[in-house]
Structure 1
Amino acid sequence: MIRYTRRSLLAPILAACLFGAAAHAAPAPEDYPQKPLRVVVPYTPGGVSDAVTRLITRKLSDELGQAIVVENQGGANGQIGSSAVARAAPDGYTFVIVVMAHAINPSLYKKMSYRPLQDLRGVSLFGRIPLLMVSSAALPPRTFEEFVAWAKANPEKATFASSGAGSGAHLVAERFSQITGAKITHVPYKGISPALPDLFSGQVAAIFDSVQTMWPQVKGGKLRALAMTSETRWPAAPDVPTMGELGYPDLVTGSWIGMLAPAGTPDPLVRKVSDAVQRVLDQPDIHAQLIDYGIDPVGGTPAQFDTFIASEAKRWADVIATAGIKLE
């Protein structure tokens, strides 16, 4: 008669579990990646984040030796695509591209289907996107200082446009108002293009937006460039002072773009992708193209990107609370 002990019954079960875990274990860094990667852009095709992602992933594919599929999942200020990646298997094959909205959404929305700062982890900060502050050429101010003085003297005319409530341009303008004491009123639009006619006519006084979008209008004489939110003067606009030069270091800010992975993705795999991104960013042609997009290439380690996101979340949470901004 065969007698079954508890140990003998459990042994095959434990062996099966261990075999299953090994079968699904992440590959060693030297063997990774073994199949194509998927990168989700949580915005519609054709925008800057989409264009930058495709530019970088074409070169990243060469660095990693695997195809990279870029997938657009737009909606809810980046939440739909980001939420899908947050729920994806943390196996090193799914990533998401995020911008400034990723850090500010928790302060804007009462309910979210995922936790942006906990359910996703940093891979690489592609670059910072400084903003150009411009005012209407139809209005008197010609410099930053003149605009601040004019806005304080004409609060009923001091307005600023943005591409929507809670956008980066909106929050930077709110920060400008809080720091300078110039009480300017927010006028949201459904995108930048609808705002331009009102800016040209002076119906709206100012806007913060990318150099790439605004500089042609400055060169055309319809808008006046007042200041850059970059740390140093921008190559395409060398005559425009920075906020730091003007005495407002707290307005050295702007948007940014980078890559995240699901929380729990193994460190060695994340580091391998991060290192490959850095090599891409260091390529002269990619660096030049990003500058043309109005993006200052950065790179850095996954830990540095996580620290940066946390600092951004705190910075904008304070601005949002002071301004009383809430979205549903």
Structure 2
Amino acid sequence: MTLSDTAARVAAGVASSLLLAAQPALAEKPGDYPAHPVRIIVPYAAGGGTDIIARTLGAALSRQLGQPVIVDNRPGGQTVVGYSIAAKAAPDGYTLLMNNSAHSIQPALFKDLPYNAIRSFRGVAEITASPVVFVVDRKLPVTDLKSYLAYGKTTSTKLNFGSFGTGTGSHLWGELLASASGLDMLHVPYKGSAPAIQDLIGGQINGLFVDPLSIKPHIQAGTVRAIGVTGPRRWKGLENVPTFVEQGYPQFADVGWFGLFAPAGTPDAIVNRLSAEVSKAVMLPEVKSKLLELGTEPSGTTAAAFDAQIRKDADRWAKVVAEKHITLQ
């Protein structure tokens, strides 16, 4: 089934979902916000990283806002279900959306959705940030990015890299490395992170871009070798791993993130209030410790800064997708 088929099937159910979830219309001013419960839509099943972060943040926001903040899991259709409901919600601050940096990839890959991830939403705040780690087969005769690329250009066998699936961040970071270095690498897609990591440990693939939480135990155990992290600085807990930037690749100065979004048209006063509350919440000791436990660092940004980051990321991935002719089968 194609994504367009999925979107078509989802559309009919979205309207009824909206009617069921809608709050009574209230003649309120932005200064009265919030006057009733706030809903955060998570477009994934309960129990994943996005869901855990949403619930951790929601509990803190409930106390700060004086109203319940309810996490509403709406998985399905490769996030189309949740996104469609959020995009069609009233722009009043009572329906929000949470996702990770995959949000910025959507417009480049999906052209026929009932919404546009950039135009249909506005950023509220970046909640937390995390680098992406490039790890390689420990049996390769390489110790850093320079030796890895040199090995790739001299070996008789083309290097490959795994990913969590075509069009995922782990795929696009790998394609960005191929473009930036001029090294022709073969992409090997997997269905999720676990099988990709296992094949890297087993030597079936040469490299993998992956989040710190998933790979750090394997780095510490010596079953894989980390040779680079994205972002402007070395990361806490991975201080011995140099950044791509310090190894001569400024294209990798950005990191992954989790963020909160509101439907386009949500008043500035409400968005700015939420942004300020998120920035306050992520620095609470109990919230901060949970985010660090998940392998991310609390950030909290202004809405304007988050919107700028989203668009910067979207522009980068659009170029990679176009250059590499990436499509979803």
Q: Which moved more, 1:283-292 or 1:184-193?
A: 283-292
Equivalent residues in 2 for 1:43-122, closer than 5 Å: 43-122=44-123
**Aligned partners of 2:158 and 2:184 also within 8 Å:** no
Asked whether 1:125 is paired with 2:133, we answer: no
Q: TM-score, normalised to structure 2's length? A: 0.88
Q: Which moved more, 1:92-101 or 1:285-294?
A: 285-294
**Aligned partners of 1:43 and 1:50 also within 8 Å:** yes
Question: CA deviation digits over 1:55-113, x for unaligned, max 9?
Answer: 11111111111111111112343232112100011121100012222211111123111
The equivalent of 2:279 in structure 1 is 278
Q: Which amino acid counterpart does residue 316 of structure 2 have in structure 1?
A: R
Instruction: State the alpha-carbon separation in 1 of the partners of residues 170 and 51 from structure 2.
Output: 19
Q: Which amino acid counterpart does residue 289 of structure 1 have in structure 2?
A: K
**Aligned partners of 2:131 and 2:230 also within 8 Å:** yes
Question: CA deviation digits over 1:224-282, x for unaligned, max 9?
Answer: 01111121111111111111111111112332110111112222122211111111122
SS of equivalent to 1:38: strand
Q: Which amino acid counterpart does residue 311 of structure 1 have in structure 2?
A: K
Shift in Å, 1:297 = 2.3
**Aligned partners of 1:155 and 1:183 also within 8 Å:** no
**Aligned partners of 1:106 and 1:112 also within 8 Å:** no
Structure number with greater Rg is 1
The equivalent of 1:216 in structure 2 is 217
**Aligned partners of 1:161 and 1:187 also within 8 Å:** yes
Q: Provide the identity percentage.
A: 38
Instruction: State the alpha-carbon separation in 1 of the partners of residues 116 and 240 from structure 2.
Output: 42
The equivalent of 1:231 in structure 2 is 232
Instruction: State the alpha-carbon separation in 2 of the partners of residues 71 and 155 from structure 1.
Output: 51
The equivalent of 1:326 in structure 2 is 327
**Aligned partners of 2:30 and 2:267 also within 8 Å:** no
Instruction: State the alpha-carbon separation in 2 of the partners of residues 90 and 80 from structure 1.
Output: 18
Q: TM-score, normalised to structure 1's length? A: 0.88
The equivalent of 1:257 in structure 2 is 258
For structure 1, list consecutive stretches of 5 or more residues without a partner in the other structure: 1-22
> How many residues in Structure 1 have an aligned counterpart in Structure 2?
306
Instruction: State the alpha-carbon separation in 1 of the partners of residues 45 and 147 from structure 2.
Output: 38
Q: 1:268 to 1:157 in 2, by over 3 A?
A: same
Shift in Å, 1:156 = 3.0
Q: Which moved more, 1:259-268 or 1:283-292?
A: 283-292
Q: Which amino acid counterpart does residue 125 of structure 1 have in structure 2?
A: E
Runs of 4+ in 1 over 6 A off after TM superposition: none
**Aligned partners of 1:226 and 1:241 also within 8 Å:** yes
SS of equivalent to 1:234: coil
Shift in Å, 1:155 = 6.4
SS of equivalent to 1:195: helix
For structure 2, list consecutive stretches of 5 or more residues without a partner in the other structure: 1-23
**Aligned partners of 2:164 and 2:170 also within 8 Å:** yes
Instruction: State the alpha-carbon separation in 2 of the partners of residues 26 and 316 from structure 1.
Output: 41
The equivalent of 1:10 in structure 2 is none
